Protein backbone atom coordinates (compact mmCIF):
# COMPACT_ATOMS: atom_id res chain seq x y z
CA UNK A 1 0.00 0.00 0.00
CA UNK A 2 1.09 3.56 -0.65
CA UNK A 3 0.28 6.49 1.63
CA UNK A 4 0.00 10.17 0.77
CA UNK A 5 -0.18 13.33 2.82
CA UNK A 6 -3.43 15.24 2.37
CA UNK A 7 -2.90 18.92 1.56
CA UNK A 8 -1.04 20.75 4.30
CA UNK A 9 -2.23 18.41 7.07
CA UNK A 10 -0.37 15.68 8.94
CA UNK A 11 -2.93 13.14 7.72
CA UNK A 12 -1.13 10.31 5.96
CA UNK A 13 -3.86 8.45 4.06
CA UNK A 14 -3.85 5.13 2.24
CA UNK A 15 -4.09 5.78 -1.50
CA UNK A 16 -6.78 3.13 -1.76
CA UNK A 17 -9.40 4.27 0.70
CA UNK A 18 -12.39 2.19 1.72
CA UNK A 19 -15.54 3.76 0.23
CA UNK A 20 -18.52 2.90 2.41
CA UNK A 21 -21.46 4.07 0.29
CA UNK A 22 -22.51 0.62 -0.92
CA UNK A 23 -22.44 -1.05 2.50
CA UNK A 24 -25.14 1.36 3.64
CA UNK A 25 -27.46 -0.63 1.39
CA UNK A 26 -29.84 2.12 0.32
CA UNK A 27 -29.76 2.67 -3.46
CA UNK A 28 -27.55 -0.43 -3.85
CA UNK A 29 -30.11 -3.23 -3.56
CA UNK A 30 -29.47 -3.92 0.13
CA UNK A 31 -26.45 -5.46 1.85
CA UNK A 32 -25.23 -8.22 4.15
CA UNK A 33 -23.96 -6.57 7.31
CA UNK A 34 -21.61 -9.39 8.32
CA UNK A 35 -19.99 -9.41 4.87
CA UNK A 36 -19.73 -5.61 4.95
CA UNK A 37 -17.98 -5.53 8.32
CA UNK A 38 -15.62 -8.29 7.20
CA UNK A 39 -14.80 -6.27 4.08
CA UNK A 40 -13.78 -3.29 6.21
CA UNK A 41 -11.57 -5.45 8.41
CA UNK A 42 -9.99 -7.21 5.43
CA UNK A 43 -9.18 -3.79 3.98
CA UNK A 44 -7.46 -2.68 7.18
CA UNK A 45 -5.55 -5.96 7.40
CA UNK A 46 -4.21 -5.30 3.89
CA UNK A 47 -3.00 -1.77 4.52
CA UNK A 48 -6.11 0.32 3.85
CA UNK A 49 -5.99 2.62 6.87
CA UNK A 50 -8.44 5.24 5.57
CA UNK A 51 -12.22 4.75 5.62
CA UNK A 52 -14.68 7.16 4.00
CA UNK A 53 -18.36 7.17 4.93
CA UNK A 54 -21.30 9.56 5.44
CA UNK A 55 -24.48 9.76 7.52
CA UNK A 56 -26.63 9.48 4.39
CA UNK A 57 -25.17 6.08 3.45
CA UNK A 58 -27.80 3.72 4.76
CA UNK A 59 -29.34 6.54 6.82
CA UNK A 60 -26.67 6.08 9.50
CA UNK A 61 -26.08 2.36 8.97
CA UNK A 62 -22.77 2.75 7.13
CA UNK A 63 -21.24 4.83 9.93
CA UNK A 64 -22.52 2.36 12.52
CA UNK A 65 -20.91 -0.58 10.71
CA UNK A 66 -17.62 1.30 10.36
CA UNK A 67 -17.72 1.91 14.12
CA UNK A 68 -18.25 -1.79 14.75
CA UNK A 69 -15.63 -2.88 12.24
CA UNK A 70 -12.76 -0.87 13.73
CA UNK A 71 -13.20 -2.27 17.24
CA UNK A 72 -9.98 -3.98 18.26
CA UNK A 73 -7.79 -1.88 15.96
CA UNK A 74 -5.51 0.95 17.05
CA UNK A 75 -7.67 4.03 16.40
CA UNK A 76 -4.59 6.25 16.02
CA UNK A 77 -3.59 4.25 12.94
CA UNK A 78 -6.98 4.53 11.24
CA UNK A 79 -8.27 7.66 9.53
CA UNK A 80 -12.03 8.16 9.61
CA UNK A 81 -13.46 10.41 6.92
CA UNK A 82 -17.13 11.31 7.01
CA UNK A 83 -19.47 14.04 5.82
CA UNK A 84 -22.49 16.13 6.74
CA UNK A 85 -25.16 18.17 5.07
CA UNK A 86 -27.65 15.65 3.66
CA UNK A 87 -30.70 15.59 5.92
CA UNK A 88 -33.48 13.05 5.53
CA UNK A 89 -35.24 12.89 8.91
CA UNK A 90 -37.02 16.24 8.91
CA UNK A 91 -34.62 17.76 11.44
CA UNK A 92 -34.03 20.69 9.09
CA UNK A 93 -37.58 21.87 9.92
CA UNK A 94 -38.35 23.19 6.47
CA UNK A 95 -34.93 24.73 5.82
CA UNK A 96 -32.32 23.71 3.29
CA UNK A 97 -32.44 22.83 -0.38
CA UNK A 98 -34.39 19.82 -1.64
CA UNK A 99 -32.00 17.42 -3.36
CA UNK A 100 -33.96 14.31 -4.32
CA UNK A 101 -36.28 11.65 -2.93
CA UNK A 102 -34.54 8.50 -1.77
CA UNK A 103 -36.36 5.19 -1.49
CA UNK A 104 -36.38 3.03 1.61
CA UNK A 105 -38.62 -0.04 1.96
CA UNK A 106 -40.78 1.19 -0.91
CA UNK A 107 -41.26 4.61 0.67
CA UNK A 108 -40.05 7.92 -0.79
CA UNK A 109 -37.86 9.86 1.67
CA UNK A 110 -37.12 13.53 0.85
CA UNK A 111 -33.42 14.38 1.17
CA UNK A 112 -32.29 17.98 1.69
CA UNK A 113 -28.94 19.72 1.45
CA UNK A 114 -28.60 21.59 4.74
CA UNK A 115 -25.26 22.96 5.96
CA UNK A 116 -26.21 25.59 8.54
CA UNK A 117 -23.85 26.08 11.47
CA UNK A 118 -26.32 24.50 13.90
CA UNK A 119 -26.84 21.47 11.67
CA UNK A 120 -23.09 20.91 11.21
CA UNK A 121 -22.59 20.81 14.98
CA UNK A 122 -25.59 18.51 15.42
CA UNK A 123 -24.54 16.06 12.70
CA UNK A 124 -20.99 15.75 13.99
CA UNK A 125 -22.22 14.67 17.42
CA UNK A 126 -24.42 12.04 15.79
CA UNK A 127 -21.56 10.79 13.62
CA UNK A 128 -19.21 10.55 16.59
CA UNK A 129 -21.78 8.39 18.37
CA UNK A 130 -22.33 6.09 15.39
CA UNK A 131 -18.61 5.78 14.69
CA UNK A 132 -17.91 5.17 18.39
CA UNK A 133 -15.03 7.64 18.45
CA UNK A 134 -14.26 11.04 19.94
CA UNK A 135 -12.79 12.66 16.83
CA UNK A 136 -13.10 12.57 13.05
CA UNK A 137 -9.94 12.84 10.97
CA UNK A 138 -11.53 14.63 8.00
CA UNK A 139 -15.02 16.10 7.98
CA UNK A 140 -16.42 17.03 4.57
CA UNK A 141 -19.40 18.99 3.28
CA UNK A 142 -21.29 16.34 1.34
CA UNK A 143 -22.87 18.62 -1.29
CA UNK A 144 -23.00 22.41 -1.75
CA UNK A 145 -26.09 23.91 -0.15
CA UNK A 146 -27.25 27.05 -1.93
CA UNK A 147 -29.53 27.98 0.97
CA UNK A 148 -26.63 28.46 3.42
CA UNK A 149 -23.72 30.89 2.97
CA UNK A 150 -20.47 28.97 2.48
CA UNK A 151 -18.80 31.21 5.09
CA UNK A 152 -21.32 30.09 7.74
CA UNK A 153 -20.56 26.43 7.05
CA UNK A 154 -16.81 27.05 7.17
CA UNK A 155 -17.12 28.91 10.48
CA UNK A 156 -18.79 25.84 11.99
CA UNK A 157 -15.96 23.62 10.75
CA UNK A 158 -13.40 25.99 12.25
CA UNK A 159 -15.15 25.72 15.63
CA UNK A 160 -15.04 21.91 15.43
CA UNK A 161 -11.31 21.99 14.65
CA UNK A 162 -10.69 24.24 17.64
CA UNK A 163 -12.71 21.86 19.82
CA UNK A 164 -10.62 18.90 18.66
CA UNK A 165 -13.66 17.05 17.31
CA UNK A 166 -12.24 17.06 13.78
CA UNK A 167 -8.62 17.14 12.68
CA UNK A 168 -9.19 18.71 9.28
CA UNK A 169 -12.00 19.98 7.06
CA UNK A 170 -12.77 19.39 3.41
CA UNK A 171 -15.59 19.67 0.92
CA UNK A 172 -17.18 17.40 -1.63
CA UNK A 173 -18.67 18.11 -5.06
CA UNK A 174 -17.54 21.75 -4.91
CA UNK A 175 -16.68 23.74 -8.02
CA UNK A 176 -13.36 25.58 -8.14
CA UNK A 177 -15.16 28.86 -7.46
CA UNK A 178 -16.86 27.35 -4.40
CA UNK A 179 -13.52 26.04 -3.15
CA UNK A 180 -12.03 29.51 -3.51
CA UNK A 181 -14.93 31.04 -1.62
CA UNK A 182 -14.64 28.49 1.18
CA UNK A 183 -10.91 29.15 1.51
CA UNK A 184 -11.59 32.81 2.22
CA UNK A 185 -12.92 31.66 5.60
CA UNK A 186 -11.14 28.36 6.29
CA UNK A 187 -8.16 26.60 4.74
CA UNK A 188 -10.02 23.49 3.62
CA UNK A 189 -7.61 20.73 2.63
CA UNK A 190 -9.52 18.63 0.10
CA UNK A 191 -12.34 18.30 -2.38
CA UNK A 192 -13.99 14.91 -2.91
CA UNK A 193 -15.30 14.58 -6.46
CA UNK A 194 -16.38 12.01 -9.01
CA UNK A 195 -13.58 11.04 -11.39
CA UNK A 196 -12.95 8.05 -13.58
CA UNK A 197 -11.73 6.95 -16.99
CA UNK A 198 -15.24 7.83 -18.22
CA UNK A 199 -15.55 11.12 -16.32
CA UNK A 200 -12.49 13.36 -16.55
CA UNK A 201 -14.07 16.83 -16.41
CA UNK A 202 -12.05 17.88 -13.33
CA UNK A 203 -8.88 17.75 -15.41
CA UNK A 204 -9.88 21.07 -17.01
CA UNK A 205 -10.10 23.20 -13.86
CA UNK A 206 -9.95 21.45 -10.49
CA UNK A 207 -6.75 19.50 -11.18
CA UNK A 208 -4.70 22.59 -12.21
CA UNK A 209 -6.08 24.53 -9.22
CA UNK A 210 -5.26 21.70 -6.83
CA UNK A 211 -1.70 21.40 -8.12
CA UNK A 212 -1.12 25.12 -7.73
CA UNK A 213 -2.81 25.51 -4.35
CA UNK A 214 -1.95 22.33 -2.42
CA UNK A 215 -5.52 21.06 -2.39
CA UNK A 216 -6.03 17.34 -2.04
CA UNK A 217 -8.39 15.61 -4.47
CA UNK A 218 -10.29 12.61 -3.14
CA UNK A 219 -11.83 10.56 -5.95
CA UNK A 220 -15.11 8.67 -5.74
CA UNK A 221 -16.67 6.35 -8.35
CA UNK A 222 -13.33 5.52 -10.04
CA UNK A 223 -14.90 2.30 -11.33
CA UNK A 224 -18.19 4.04 -12.17
CA UNK A 225 -20.03 2.02 -9.54
CA UNK A 226 -18.80 -1.28 -10.93
CA UNK A 227 -19.23 -0.60 -14.65
CA UNK A 228 -15.47 -0.56 -15.30
CA UNK A 229 -14.98 -3.93 -13.61
CA UNK A 230 -16.55 -5.53 -16.69
CA UNK A 231 -18.91 -7.65 -14.57
CA UNK A 232 -22.00 -5.82 -15.76
CA UNK A 233 -21.41 -6.96 -19.33
CA UNK A 234 -21.07 -10.59 -18.24
CA UNK A 235 -23.80 -10.77 -15.61
CA UNK A 236 -25.90 -7.78 -16.62
CA UNK A 237 -28.67 -8.27 -14.11
CA UNK A 238 -29.09 -5.80 -11.24
CA UNK A 239 -31.77 -5.80 -8.56
CA UNK A 240 -34.76 -3.60 -9.36
CA UNK A 241 -34.00 -1.20 -6.50
CA UNK A 242 -30.36 -0.76 -7.54
CA UNK A 243 -29.82 2.84 -8.71
CA UNK A 244 -27.25 1.68 -11.25
CA UNK A 245 -30.05 0.52 -13.56
CA UNK A 246 -30.48 4.17 -14.45
CA UNK A 247 -26.96 5.40 -13.68
CA UNK A 248 -25.26 3.26 -16.32
CA UNK A 249 -27.50 4.63 -19.06
CA UNK A 250 -25.53 7.90 -19.20
CA UNK A 251 -22.67 6.03 -20.91
CA UNK A 252 -22.32 4.60 -24.41
CA UNK A 253 -22.26 1.04 -23.14
CA UNK A 254 -21.13 -0.48 -26.44
CA UNK A 255 -18.08 1.77 -26.49
CA UNK A 256 -17.35 1.04 -22.82
CA UNK A 257 -17.55 -2.69 -23.46
CA UNK A 258 -15.18 -2.36 -26.44
CA UNK A 259 -12.76 -0.28 -24.35
CA UNK A 260 -12.69 -2.90 -21.60
CA UNK A 261 -12.09 -5.61 -24.20
CA UNK A 262 -9.05 -3.63 -25.35
CA UNK A 263 -7.71 -3.42 -21.79
CA UNK A 264 -8.36 -7.06 -20.91
CA UNK A 265 -5.16 -8.50 -22.52
CA UNK A 266 -3.03 -5.97 -20.62
CA UNK A 267 -4.72 -6.94 -17.34
CA UNK A 268 -4.21 -10.64 -18.14
CA UNK A 269 -0.52 -10.07 -18.91
CA UNK A 270 -0.10 -8.45 -15.53
CA UNK A 271 -2.12 -11.13 -13.76
CA UNK A 272 -4.59 -8.59 -12.41
CA UNK A 273 -8.29 -7.82 -12.79
CA UNK A 274 -9.73 -4.96 -14.83
CA UNK A 275 -10.84 -3.35 -11.57
CA UNK A 276 -7.29 -3.38 -10.23
CA UNK A 277 -5.90 -1.91 -13.43
CA UNK A 278 -8.53 0.84 -13.39
CA UNK A 279 -7.85 1.71 -9.74
CA UNK A 280 -4.10 1.87 -10.29
CA UNK A 281 -4.49 4.06 -13.39
CA UNK A 282 -6.69 6.43 -11.40
CA UNK A 283 -4.21 6.65 -8.51
CA UNK A 284 -1.45 7.73 -10.91
CA UNK A 285 -3.28 10.72 -12.40
CA UNK A 286 -2.03 14.24 -11.53
CA UNK A 287 -3.27 15.83 -8.28
CA UNK A 288 -5.19 12.74 -7.16
CA UNK A 289 -4.52 12.18 -3.46
CA UNK A 290 -6.59 9.11 -2.67
CA UNK A 291 -9.03 6.85 -4.52
CA UNK A 292 -12.19 5.48 -2.93
CA UNK A 293 -13.01 1.85 -3.65
CA UNK A 294 -16.06 0.12 -2.25
CA UNK A 295 -16.43 -3.59 -1.57
CA UNK A 296 -19.24 -5.87 -0.40
CA UNK A 297 -17.08 -8.66 1.03
CA UNK A 298 -13.55 -9.48 2.15
CA UNK A 299 -12.50 -10.91 -1.22
CA UNK A 300 -13.36 -7.71 -3.07
CA UNK A 301 -11.65 -5.63 -0.38
CA UNK A 302 -8.39 -7.54 -0.73
CA UNK A 303 -8.48 -7.24 -4.52
CA UNK A 304 -8.90 -3.45 -4.20
CA UNK A 305 -6.04 -3.13 -1.72
CA UNK A 306 -3.68 -5.16 -3.90
CA UNK A 307 -4.25 -2.84 -6.87
CA UNK A 308 -1.50 -0.65 -5.47
CA UNK A 309 1.03 -3.43 -6.08
CA UNK A 310 0.66 -2.94 -9.84
CA UNK A 311 3.17 -1.06 -11.97
CA UNK A 312 1.95 0.73 -15.09
CA UNK A 313 4.85 1.70 -17.32
CA UNK A 314 4.86 4.78 -19.59
CA UNK A 315 4.18 2.82 -22.79
CA UNK A 316 1.28 1.00 -21.07
CA UNK A 317 -0.13 4.31 -19.84
CA UNK A 318 0.03 5.63 -23.40
CA UNK A 319 -1.77 2.50 -24.63
CA UNK A 320 -4.55 2.95 -22.06
CA UNK A 321 -4.95 6.67 -22.80
CA UNK A 322 -5.09 6.02 -26.54
CA UNK A 323 -7.85 3.48 -26.01
CA UNK A 324 -9.67 5.98 -23.78
CA UNK A 325 -9.61 8.60 -26.50
CA UNK A 326 -11.80 6.34 -28.63
CA UNK A 327 -14.69 6.23 -26.16
Residue 136, SS3 per DSSP: strand
Closest by CA position to 304, among listed 238, 230, 234, 229? 229
Dihedral sign of CA atoms 231, 264, 292, 212 in order = negative
The answer to whether 57 is a known catalytic residue is yes
CB 85 within 8 A of CB 30: no
Distances (CA, A) of 88 to 15, 56, 107, 125, 244: 31, 8, 12, 16, 21
CB 168 within 8 A of CB 138: yes
Torsions phi, psi for 119 (to 5 deg) = -70, -35
Torsions phi, psi for 291 (to 5 deg) = -125, 125
200 CB-near residues (< 8 Å, 6+ apart) = none
Residue 110, SS3 per DSSP: strand
Q: Spot the catalytic one: 57, 112, 220, 232.
A: 57
Distance separating alpha carbons of residues 121 and 119, to the nearest angstrom? 5
Closest by CA position to 279, among listed 242, 201, 214, 224? 224
The residues that are catalytic are 57
Amino acid sequence: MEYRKLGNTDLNLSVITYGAFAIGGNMWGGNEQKDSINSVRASIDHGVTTLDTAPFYGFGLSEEMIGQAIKGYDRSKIQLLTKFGLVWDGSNKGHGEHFFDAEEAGKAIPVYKYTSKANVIKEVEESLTRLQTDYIDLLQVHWPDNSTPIAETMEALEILIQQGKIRAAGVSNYSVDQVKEARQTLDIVSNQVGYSMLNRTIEHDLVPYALENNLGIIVYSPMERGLLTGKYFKEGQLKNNDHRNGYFQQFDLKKVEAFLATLTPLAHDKGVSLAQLVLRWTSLQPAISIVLAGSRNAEQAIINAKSMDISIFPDEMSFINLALAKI
